[in-house]
Each structure stands twice: as C-alpha cells, then as structure tokens.
Amino acid sequence: MTTPIDSIIIKREIEKMGLTSVGLASIRELNRLVNNIEAAANETYIRMEMGVPGLDPPRIAIDAEIDALKKGVGSKYPPFDGIPELKFEISRFVKNFIDVAIGPESCFPTVGSMQGCYMAMMCTTRRLNGKNKILFLDPGFPVNKRQASVIGVPYDHFDVYDYRGDKLRAKLESYLEKGDIASVMYSNPNNPAWFCFTDQELQTIGELATEYDCIVMEDLAYFGMDFRKDYSVPGQEPYIPSVAKYTDNYILLISSSKSFSLAGQRIGMTAIPERLFNSEGNNLEPYFGSNKFGYAYIFGAMYALSSGVSHSNQWGLAGLLKAVNDGGYNFVDSVKVYGDRAKVMKKLFTDNGFQIVYDMDEDEKIADGFYFTISYPGFSGVELVEELLYYGISAISLTTTGSDKHEGLRACVSQTGPDRFDDLENRLKTFKEDHPKDSEFKIIHM
C-alpha cells in the first residue's frame, strides 16, 4: 500500500536518528526527525508537533528594542531583576489583566518563562525544610519535569482531568497532607489539552496552598488565549482567572512567546506577591546565600542562572507592554487566529474518525485555541504518532505529557494556515480509508 509520504524514506530516517521509540520522542527530537524526512522526501508535513508561534512579532516591540540598541544598552549589564521601566509595566499588566496588585519590586523578566519556571522550582523546593517535592497537575509541558530532574527535585503527578470540579479538593489533599509538597504546578490554559480551570477549581487550589503552606506555580504561557471570553481590555472585566485571587502563596509565570509572538526573544515575566517575596524560608541560605525568599530569588537564583535578561530585549518588551497597558495594542485580537484554525482543524479530524480526547471544561466545551488533543480508535498515542508520519502529519503523544489514562496526541495549530487545510483533509481522508473502523485497526506501517 502506498502512503502520502514514501514509507521507505520514513523508515530510513527513523533508523538514522536511532530513536528507540518515535512515539515517545521528545518534541525537539520529533521536530528534527520530521525536518529530515521533509528534506529527504521533498514533502511538506502538516507540522503540529511543536508550539512555535506562526505569527510575526509586533512592530512596537521590534522598534523599542532597536531604539534601545541604538542608544548603546548592549554594552551595559542590565539589573538582574529588570530595568525599572519594564518592572513597572509588568506590575501594571498583572493589575490590568488579572486584577491583582503586585508592586514592581517583585515583578521581573526572565529568559523565557521557561527560566521563570526553573527558578520557581529551585526556590520553592528549597524554601522549607522537609518540603522538597513538586506536584504536577497533568497533563503538562514535558520539559518542566526535565527541569525538575536536572536540579534533582522529586515530583509527583496526577491527571487532573479525572478530578475536575468537586473531586479536585480530596485528590489534591491526598498529596498535600503528606507534608512534603513544596509547590504545585499547572498551565492554564492547559498545554497540551487546552482545558481551563474554573474559578471554583482555582479557589480550591488556592485555599489548599494556604492551608498546607505550599506554593502554586501558575504557568500562564497562553495568557489571555481562552478566546471564549474577551480578556483583551485593560482594567476591565472579565479578568483572566487566576489562583492569585485565592491565596498569597503563588508565583505567576507569564510567557511572551505565544500571546505576544516573541518566542525567539526568550523573554518572559515572573510576578510574586509581596507577602511571599518578603517572607523567609529556613532552607534557602545554603543554596542562595539568604533565607529571604525574594533576595534568594534575585541575588541567588537569577545571579547564578543568567544574571538577568538581555538588555535591549527588556526595552522591547517594556515598549510593547506599555502599549498593551495603555490600550493601544490589543494582544488578544492579534492571536485569535489560532482559535479560528483550531475550530476548522478539529472538525477535519473528527469528520475523519478521530475523537477529541480532552473535550470538556466540566460542563462546557473546551475553547478552540493553540492546542487540541486527538485519538483514533485502535491506536495508542505512541502508535498513532508514528503511523501519522506516513500520512504527512506530525504531532506528539500525550504519553509524554503525563496523561495517565488518556491515549492520544497533542496537535498544535500554529504552523497550519488555511492554505494547508485541503492537504490536511486529503491526508486524513486517506488515513481513514486505510484504517477503517470495522476492520481490526491493524497498524499498517510501523
């Protein structure tokens, strides 16, 4: 049987990469494999494996950065915790869009929110003696677990989809009551599943974080991108739901990569409420030179990691945030196109025998956004990754994201514009014909 992409080439490239399992490959490994196949086969895949923005960076950020470079900031070290202009705008941004007041002192830039996550892990898991574990509310961003492993931090996880709503409290408490959980991490909207916690769930998480003195690391990598509501107007309801409303034990990790299409710049934001920032731990000093949480964060972790964020880049983000805060640049409108794509792409998949794996926010359908999840009867997620390669479609398996019981793939819409919808449809139709429902669902190519 012939497939849209030559199976001999695919098999050869898989062998060359020496992967033990294609379906369990990391995002970057799969990305490399598909690049190689595309080059060898002279074909273009429907690339859904990696969450890279498919849009141009905003002109305002580019101009502000160029201006700063021309003024010569390149020769000067920036402050570890950010230039005052940026700290001020981050603080305004958090107030304008989440409606929580965090002063500029504890708002600072990081090298991508990736570095923000890393620092949060370092500092929260060494804050208190006896509390050294992270609890991941999965599914999640696979590299966060790699970060924990790199710093030797133990972690636990569970698939939170099975414990939504009223079930969440008891499940969370069953981990927290052991006493060793230092911090809890999740992304909202969720990468990979795109579900969003409700206010009631965030309240539960917040209340328990206070009760058990652990820190919530709230990863807002897709800030404002739940397009079911319009979060785009600064200082006006609706505000972006956040655990910040329900506890002081939290760290906000905000990415500029997707919401502002600035992934290449590697600049993100961290905001820590004053109460936590000014608090003292009893186990920070040996690692960071001080038991003061905020001091350890900046003069311990940030100093050791990268000593700040590139200077001109900070001016670029400060310029953009100022425009956003002043109401002159609507960042949500600029990325809404991802939701439109998801709507069409999800339909193409479901029309061709696929199902959406994580499909509900309690009793409401999940939003159309940057990612969605799919499964096909008879296939595990790991098998489906490999089989779809023969049909010119690449995505990652949910197994790599900490999905416990839910087999399937994460699909990212960012690289697939409307000009590729026909290709996607044709490839999915062929896949469906080759894998009919009433057959044994044999995997044909792997």
What amino acid occupies position 435?
H
Total interface residues for ligand PLP by CB under 6 A: 13
Alpha-carbon distances, residue 103 vs 58, 90, 177, 272 (angstroms): 26, 9, 32, 9
Based on the shown chain and the rule CB under 6 A, indicate whether residue 401 belongs to the binding site for ligand PLP: no
Q: Binding residue for ligand PLP (CB under 6 A) from 202, 221, 243, 384?
A: 221
- Residue 171, burial from CB neighbour count under 10 angstroms (0-12, 13-18, 19+): middle
Instruction: Work out how close the CB of 26 gets to ligand PLP at its nearest, in angstroms, rounded to a whole number.
Output: 13
Based on the shown chain and the rule CB under 6 A, indicate whether residue 369 belongs to the binding site for ligand PLP: no
Based on the shown chain and the rule CB under 6 A, indicate whether residue 257 belongs to the binding site for ligand PLP: yes
Instruction: Work out how close the CB of 119 gets to ligand PLP at its nearest, in angstroms, rounded to a whole number.
Output: 12
Q: Binding residue for ligand PLP (CB under 6 A) from 263, 305, 443, 446?
A: 263
- Residue 433, burial from CB neighbour count under 10 angstroms (0-12, 13-18, 19+): exposed
The residue (of 37 and 217) whose beta carbon lies closer to ligand PLP is 217
CA distance 202 to 175: 17
The residue (of 221 and 320) whose beta carbon lies closer to ligand PLP is 221
Q: For ligand PLP, which stretch binds (CB under 6 A), given 30-38, 111-119, 386-394, 438-446?
A: 111-119
Q: State which of positions 18-77 bind ligand PLP (CB under 6 A).
A: 51
With H, G, I as helix, E, B as strand and everything else as coil, classify residue 2: coil
Residue 138's beta-bridge partner residues? 159
Based on the shown chain and the rule CB under 6 A, indicate whether residue 358 belongs to the binding site for ligand PLP: no
Q: For ligand PLP, which stretch binds (CB under 6 A), given 129-137, 255-263, 280-288, 334-342?
A: 255-263
Q: Binding residue for ligand PLP (CB under 6 A) from 53, 268, 316, 381?
A: 268
Q: State which of positions 112-131 bind ligand PLP (CB under 6 A).
A: 112-114
The residue (of 223 and 354) whose beta carbon lies closer to ligand PLP is 223
Element housing 317 (H / E): helix 311-325
Alpha-carbon distances, residue 27 vs 1, 183, 236, 389, 394 (angstroms): 29, 25, 37, 14, 10
Q: For ligand PLP, which stretch binds (CB under 6 A), given 9-17, 109-117, 149-157, 199-207?
A: 109-117
Cα 436 to chain centroid distance, Å, stands at 34
Based on the shown chain and the rule CB under 6 A, indicate whether residue 187 belongs to the binding site for ligand PLP: yes
CA distance 198 to 226: 12
Contact 133, 177 (CB under 8 A): no
CA distance 92 to 72: 27
With H, G, I as helix, E, B as strand and everything else as coil, classify residue 10: helix
The residue (of 143 and 446) whose beta carbon lies closer to ligand PLP is 143
Binding site for ligand PLP (CB under 6 A): 51, 112-114, 141, 187, 191, 219, 221, 255, 257, 263, 268
